[in-house]
Structure 1
Amino acid sequence: MAASKNNAGSASSSSKFEVFLSFRGKDTRTNFTDHLYHALLDAGIHTFRDNEELLMGKKLVPELIDAIEQSRISIPIFSENYASSKWCLNELTKIFECKNTTGQVVLPIFYIIEPSAVRNQTGSYSEAFERHQTCYDYTTVQKWKEALREVGSLKG
């Protein structure tokens, strides 16, 4: 993931983001997330979001990891299909790690989904994990579930 070319700058190690947005593009990119992103920029808040040019791979790219680590606040936007994306779950795992190691502030948003569905992995989240368990190792899936449980328990 790379930061948008406009006011967000780039995700280089010299950048410092105030906010990192984690979201499932097909659910919220062109509506809620876009409005939130522009409102943050208009308020002068240096915000990271991907620019739809994500190169698919198994691991989070270094720029994405740097953006998460350098952000003071992370905002995961949980939506119906968030848990179906390994990218979203990997981002959330890194966000959860930063929350616990550096005290990063995490402000979850529950977009047309109940917090309990995220926290308890029910509904579409349960279905996503049924698929993930056939494709990914036990440890990875458990890390994703733990991150969802913990971050899903935060007041949104």
Structure 2
Amino acid sequence: MASSTSSSSTTLQDKYDVFLSFRGEDTRHNFTSHLYAAFCQKKIRTFIDDDGLKRGDEISPALLKAIEESKISVIIFSKEYASSKWCLDELEKILECKEKNGQMVMPVFYHINPSDVRKQTGSFKDAFTKHEKKFKKMLEKIQRWIAALIEASNLSGWDLMGFD
């Protein structure tokens, strides 16, 4: 168990080496499960949400804490990633930890073109059209999600367009 340390430290007491951010319906039972298994095999402490996490309007404090307690976040962008308010909220928190704590962020573009993420085209455009209708009074939040997608898609990562 990690002991608490001073918050002035640039790195929090890391509980995880890697936090995986992904849209479960798209990648849980294929790419993400294989990546998680490979990390575990190499003894890399990896946080992955489970199917049993309670879904609600807001990300749970436990999930936010897991992001904060990770050295690296791997964001697996997939076709339906932007349709999930949870994924977009996770992305915001990940980029906040990158800025505040120097957390390394590594994007993976799984069956999605990085420019679709950056410019919100294709399935990302469709997702934001729905978000704008559903969250009419939360336009600032939607703008933060768009800014987060642009920032994350401009990071060096992996384009796995043809990977199965």
Offset of 1:54 from its aligned partner? 2.2
What is residue 130 of structure 1 aligned with on the other side? Answer: 129
Which amino acid is 2:141 matched to? T
Per-residue CA deviation, residues 56-79 of structure 1 (Å, 9 max, x unaligned), is 212110100000001000000000
In 1: Cα distance, 2:101 partner to 2:119 partner: 26
What are the superposed Cα offsets for residues 63-103 of structure 1, whole Å, 9 maximum, x if unpaired? 00000001000000000000000111111010011111111
Q: Deviations over 1:19-48 (max 9, x none)?
A: 000001111000000000000010010000
- 4+ residue stretches of structure 1 with deviation over 4 A? none
Query: What's the counterpart of residue 81 of structure 1?
Result: 80
Cα deviation digits, residues 136-156 of structure 1 (max 9, x gap): 211111111111000011111
Q: In structure 2, how many angstroms separate the alpha carbons of the residues matched to 1:140 and 1:59?
A: 13
Is 1:67 the counterpart of 2:66? The answer is yes
Q: Could you tell me whether the CA contact under 8 Å between 2:95 and 2:148 is conserved in 1?
A: yes
More strand by share: 2
**Alpha-carbon separation, structure 1, partners of 2:53 and 2:83:** 16
SS in 2 for 1:106: strand
Partner of 1:154: 155
SS at match of 1:65: helix
Q: Hey, what's the Cα distance between the residues in 2 that align with 1:51 and 1:68?
A: 15
Deviation at 1:123, TM superposition (A): 0.5
Q: Distance in 1 between matches of 2:88 and 2:52?
A: 18
Runs of 5+ in structure 1 lacking a partner? 1-13
Cα displacement (A) at 1:15 = 6.8
* Preserved contact between residue 14 and residue 70 of structure 2 (Cα < 8 Å): no
Q: Matched residue of 2:29: which SS?
A: coil
Q: How big is the alpha-carbon RMSD for the aligned residues of Structure 1 and Structure 2?
A: 1.4
Aligned equivalent of 2:17: 18
Give the SS at the match of 1:108: strand
Using the alignment, how far apart are the partners of 1:142 and 1:64 within structure 2?
A: 23
Measured in 1, the distance between the counterparts of 2:14 and 2:96 equals 20
Counterpart residue number, 1:39: 38
Query: In the alignment, residue 55 of structure 2 is paired with which amino acid?
Result: M
Structure 2 residues not aligned, in runs of 5+: 1-12, 158-164
Letter aligned with residue 16 of structure 2: F
Which of the pair has more CA radius of gyration? Answer: 2
Instruction: Report the TM-score, using the length of structure 1 for normalisation.
Output: 0.89
Distance (Å, rounded) in 2 between the aligned partners of 1:121 and 1:103: 26
TM norm structure 2: 0.85
